[in-house]
Structure 1
Amino acid sequence: MTLANNLHVSPYDGDEKDNVQLESCPKTATNNDEYQKAITPRSMRYFILISTIIESIIFSGLIFGWPALFYMLKNEQIYSYLCPNNNYSVDDDDIDDFDINQTTINPNDKQLQHYGRDNCIPQENILNMAFTIGIFSMGFTSFAWGFLLESKGLRFVRIALNLLISVGCFLLSITDSDTSIRIIPAIIILGLVGVPLRIANMQIADFFPLKRSTIITLFSGAFSASPVIFVLIKYGYDNWSLSYFWATFTLFLTSITLLPLNTFCLPRLSVRTREKTLLKRYDEYCAKIEALDLEMNKGKPHFINNKMLKTITDQMNEQESNKLLLQQPDNNANNTTKTPIIVNFSQFQREKETVRKPNLLKRIFKPVKTADNENELPLRVSLISISFLMHQLWFSWINTYMVLYSGSMALWLDRVTDDDREKGQFTQTFGLVQVSALIIAPIAGDVIDRIVRRAQHIQDANGRRLMQAQSGFGPVLFTTLTLLGAVICRFFDTSIAVYLSIAFITILRALFIAVASAYLRVRYPANHFNRLNGIMCTIGAFFSLLQFPLFYFESKSHLGAFQVNSVCAILTVLCLLNPLSLRIGSIQKRLIDREQCYGKYLMQNKSNTINNNNHVVNPIDN
């Protein structure tokens, strides 16, 4: 059995290459050494990982830094013509309220200029409308990007997202008081690319199969920490006299520098496909080396490239022209004899030359064609499963509460204090602590990875899948309890409750997307991950519309706030059913068996349809 063939696993297994073994290569090398030589070089893998993480921190959740951007937009007088009095004169009362300890007043101070236009409702409404549409489009289009990842490939999607980011940042930078309309498409575009960029970058985790969940959660943590970018820009805007144009134009320049990474470094279709191709190429190289009675060059530190293959093939061509018999090893591990074969390389070369090589653009954008895998499960097996339904409801409610928390934060702070400075301190603290998501999120992924690695040592396939399915119990339960803590804090109108809720929400924001995505990757087949992740985010976006009636009732009165908090507490307690069901092995075993039964039925029915046989009765209906 070859290295590439060993990648074949049951369609119910979520991982393809965690336990790759090498049998066809020289016995003098260890399996791990040969595997590392076959796949993408380690330096390239880490370069792609670090680059995409930096990109995710800067752009994936950039729109969630809206409070800081909103401040700068108002200061730049975007849509100021909608205000009844747009000259924004600063009177003595504003100066006195700004800083009673300040001895000298600078009329050009940006923070001082901000006074006098805090209550321009038409201006705030249209800016918030752009933000709302951007947030909704972020989740609404996720399912489409998930399917594009499967059909067009990773490189096409990343280049498209890169171009959208560049357009959005450019529109943002050239927006001023005379061209305020540009802010709407800029915010919508930046919102549109957030979740798709996170989903696309999660494919990089397949470069590190033993740390897959950790890498996925790391990208989710980068997504959660991304709002700090606008917080830092605002700090430079206020304290270092950094102009709005250059602050935002720098984002545009940064996005342009990432285009070569997306164009030349990332695989066309997927990381999994590239690694499989490299493994097959390595098998071919090993076979030709053995056929020529040569030894592997142990000095080669990287994967076998086309140049190396061409060199060895030229040697075979030379021997073929001399009518020599080549030796190819038998794949039977118990048979060490070599079978003589005649390689007609000249005919192969003529056939290869008849195929016209595509131009550069086609090689960049056209995805790699892969043969259909007869053992591939249909998406519906995972999509209509009870386990995915419970996971979807769990994710949707947490996502809705996160939006509700941010949207109704001002209402809660109005009940807590009348001091605007204290309110600003709460908001600034909330923005800065989001960067801790980079540390918190990977912890949950590491827990899942450790359980999955233990599961690989279980010989029984059903027992292994059961342990993988239950690997999310701890992270999912902890995430739900964190949400419950944040909900309980909202019942108390005190400063301590606000700070505690910020701590809970920071942990929750770092974990819930990371845990939700990592669980999908280990629970369901790998080829379903992109589409399931996109569908989950899209349904969550529609579900988040529930925040509008909840926000309306909370804004009415203190009693309305108590009623909304009570509803949130009840729904959060119901969310505990998801992690508790993961803990009960009998429930998970039954769900897994049902999915396997339905999957086998669909695959058998597809095979019978192709062979024009009679329809097979669904065994679930019996």
Structure 2
Amino acid sequence: MGCICHQPQSLDHISRGRRWFIFLVGMVETMLWSGTIFGWASLVHVMKIQGVYSDLCIQDLNENNATGVNATGNTLIQSEGNNTGTKGCTEQDEMFALLYTVACVVYSTPGILIGYALHHLGLAFARIAGGLMVCCGFLLLSLTSAATPDYLWGAAVLLAVGGNTIRMAGLQFANLFPGGRNTAMAIISGIFTPSAGVLMLLQTLFEGGVEWHWCCWVFAASSSLVVLVTPLIPRHHIPYTSQQEKEERAKRDDEERSVSVKSSVLSLSSCLHAYWLFINLFGVTLFATHFNSWINRFSATQEEASNYSRWFGWANILCVFLTPLPGLTMDLLGNRFTRGKSGLMVQVASIQAMIIPMLVVSLTVLTQTSMLLFRSPWAVYVGLAALMINRPSCLAVGNPFIRARFPADHFNRLVGIQGTVLALLTFIQYPHFTWAQHQYYLTFGVTLAAMGLSLSQPLHLLSTSYLTRVLSPPAPVTPLVIVQEGYRDLITALKKIHLVLIEKRRTNVDMFTRVFEDATEMAEKTGHPIQMPRRFRRHCAVMWR
């Protein structure tokens, strides 16, 4: 009973058997609940069968080829001349696209709040909150019907936020194995992809004759186990060993560089990486957003459309077998590229080892999105095969790049800033979907061109001279070195000196006065007369404040 609701001081107080139990629990929870909302295509198929938002199609009756009106007054729309037997129309598809866009945005946007809760309120609080949100999401889903469609909004938001909370809480479980922390982190990070298949299982049960509310109640009860197992998990956080904590701190101190977070965020590599990550994640979610309306364009029967929808769910489940591949590929290429190198070139080689995985991700996303231009069964299977590769690879390749390219102490802040920005940019999903309803091929032509531009991210890493220049730690700069370099313009020298003082957080008057006197004396000794323009007094007055 001592392990219940207890916070161990170190890993020495957690037995090896209990560590494996906690890690396996985290894996299963992440695999089932952390990304449930991304199986949206399967849920939309069921919602259309149940007639959710089918009332919107009555307004579109005169604009579509209706095959008839059923007993409840709902319009049965024929997609491109093929009777799929699925209620649907443009307005209904746009409503589901708007719902999915909002769900994707709220999935990542509260990440800062979730991180704050994990840091201050602890692991148990975050797990209970995440488990309850997912459970309540399925309960609201059970209440969703043609008569009460708005419950779907609450269900989507709760499944999204609760899933991300469970995912972020599970990342701590990598600390259970200090010797293999990176491997454990890769597994726990990428294994969230099969959770999108949960909604496919929900669809299968419903189509198998199980009542909708019973299907949802089963998953609600299963997700509540996250709350019930929480007392067996360390209450506040997964601890480090004392020695490991000291080593981590010493490593951070050794790697600290005099580079500001602002300069990292605004650097060429950071901007290109943010664009690369956004456009590829956007392509993955775009495929899910358009999947249902796409397959209905060429499916001859409802059974054929249902079959494609099930394969979409299976593709998300089978991603679990490809989850370790990105990490293993980068490790293999990194070892090969860094062989025989030393010093700074090791870091350069480790970054360039990520070029091939990045190109693979970009090309598979490009292939997957281009399949939406074709109306054939083979396009569905090619798109799903590409999805299985790129879905677990985007973040698995992107996060190690940030860790290798930028200072270690910038990692969390860069990931947080980029995550928030990408979440806000995800709002363009809905206008993109609306645009595609009216100009389908033009919309995807522009999208594919934008995806092609993302290749600039891995390709710019081919420049060894660029990486060497940006990765070289800046030489320590002192006022004496600045003056010895022979600056003739005093204003330029003073600006340079002032920047040095700001970096050292020493901008007081005494320090600046001493530096100015040393600079003047050194200028006289070196025989380089320093010009004194009329702006001198104004600049000095500004710096002296």
TM-score (norm 2): 0.70
Per-residue displacement from partner, 1:78-115 (whole Å, max 9, x unpaired)?
Answer: 56777868853899xx9xxx99xxxxxxxxxxxxxx95
Matched, 1:166 2:131: no
User: Is the contact between residue 468 and residue 522 of structure 1 (CA under 8 Å) also seen in structure 2?
Assistant: yes
Query: What residue number does 2:465 align with?
Result: 586
Contact 1:408 1:551 in 2 (8 A): yes
Question: Which of 452, 459, 468 is the aligned partner of 1:573?
Answer: 452
Do the aligned partners of residues 401 and 49 (structure 1) sit closer, same or farther apart at CA in structure 2, a change above 3 Å counting?
same
Say which SS state the counterpart of residue 236 (structure 2) adopts: coil
Q: In 1, Cα distance between the equivalents of 2:217 and 2:394?
A: 32
Query: Could you tell me which of 233, 240, 248 is aligned with 1:275?
Result: 240
Q: Percent identity?
A: 24
Aligned residue identity for 2:360: F
2:36 corresponds to which of 51, 62, 65: 62
TM-superposition CA deviations, 1:134-164 (whole Å, max 9, x none): 2221133334434554555545433432332
State how far apart, in whole Å, the 2-side matches of 1:71 and 1:521 are: 40
Q: 1: CA distance between counterparts of 2:211 and 2:118?
A: 38
Query: Deviation at 1:515?
Result: 1.8
Q: Secondary structure at the match of 2:210?
A: coil
Name the structure 2 match of 1:7. none
Does 2:453 correspond to 1:469? no
The amino acid that maps onto 2:221 is L
Q: 1:138 to 1:432 in 2, by over 3 A?
A: same
Instruction: Give, in whole Å, the separation in 2 of the partners of 1:209 and 1:549.
Output: 46
CA distance in 2, matches of 1:196, 1:521: 23
What is the CA distance between 1:37 and its match in structure 2?
Answer: 8.2
The 2-side partners of 1:405 and 1:595 are apart by 44
How does the TM-score come out when normalised to structure 1? 0.63
Provide the C-alpha distance between the structure 2 equivalents of 1:447 and 1:189, rounded to a whole number of angstroms.
35
- 1:247 counterpart residue number: 215
Are the aligned partners of 2:174 and 2:185 in contact in 1 as well (CA < 8 Å)?
A: yes
Taking a change above 3 Å as real, the CA distance of residues 86 and 53 of structure 1, as seen in their structure-2 partners, is farther
Is the deviation greater in 395-404 or in 573-582? 573-582
Task: Provide the C-alpha distance between the structure 2 equivalents of 1:510 and 1:432, rounded to a whole number of angstroms.
Answer: 14
CA spacing shift, 1:612–1:278, aligned 2, 3 Å: farther
Aligned-residue offset at 1:133: 1.9
Cα distance between partner residues in 1 of 2:175 and 2:17: 15
Q: CA RMSD in A?
A: 4.5
1:49 and 2:23 aligned: yes
Distance 1:456 1:613 in 2: 48
Give the conservation status (yes or no) of the 8 Å contact 1:216–1:514.
no
Pick closer, same or farther for the CA change 1:120–1:442 going to 2, 3 Å.
Answer: same
Quick one: distance in 2 between partners of 1:567 and 1:493? 19
Q: Name the counterpart of 2:283.
A: 401
- TM-fit CA distance, 1:200: 3.6
CA offsets 1:181-223 (integer angstroms, 9 cap, x no match): 4332121111223344334423333434554454344334432
Tell me: higher relative CO, structure 1 or 2? Use CA pairs within 8 A at least 6 residues apart: 1
Aligned counterpart in structure 2 of residue 482 of structure 1, from 364, 370, 373: 364
| Alpha-carbon contact 1:581-1:588 (below 8 Å) kept | no
Pick which of 226-235 and 137-146 moved more.
137-146
**Preserved CA contact (<8 Å) 2:51 2:74:** no
Residue ranges of structure 2 left out of the alignment (5+ in a row):
1-9, 59-68, 478-497, 517-545
* Residues 57, 225 of structure 1: 8 Å contact kept: yes
* Bigger shift: residues 198-207 or 121-130: 121-130
* TM-superposed deviation, 1:386: 3.0
Contact (CA 8 Å) 1:60, 1:198: kept in 2 or not?
yes
- Give 1:259's match in structure 2, choosing from 223, 227, 247: 227
CA distance in 1, matches of 2:131, 2:430: 32
* Superposed CA offset, 1:302-337 (max 9, x none): xxxxxxxxxxxxxxxxxxxxxxxxxxxxxxxxxxxx
Give CA deviations for 1:544-599 in whole Å, capped at 9, x if unaligned.
33444443443335xx50x334323322222122112334332222222268989x
SS at match of 2:200: helix
Residue 394 (structure 1) shift: 0.3
For 2:33, the aligned partner's letter is: F
**Structure 1 residues 433-512: aligned runs within 5 Å:** 433-450=315-332, 462-512=344-394
**Distance between the aligned counterparts of 2:229 and 2:333, measured in 1?**
33
Once the two structures are TM-superposed, the CA of residue 380 in structure 1 deviates from its matched residue by 4.2
Distance change in 2, residues 1:476/1:459 (3 Å) = closer
Assess if the C-alpha contact under 8 Å between 1:65 and 1:229 holds in 2: yes
Q: Secondary structure at the match of 1:242?
A: coil
Residue identity opposite 1:186 in structure 2: A
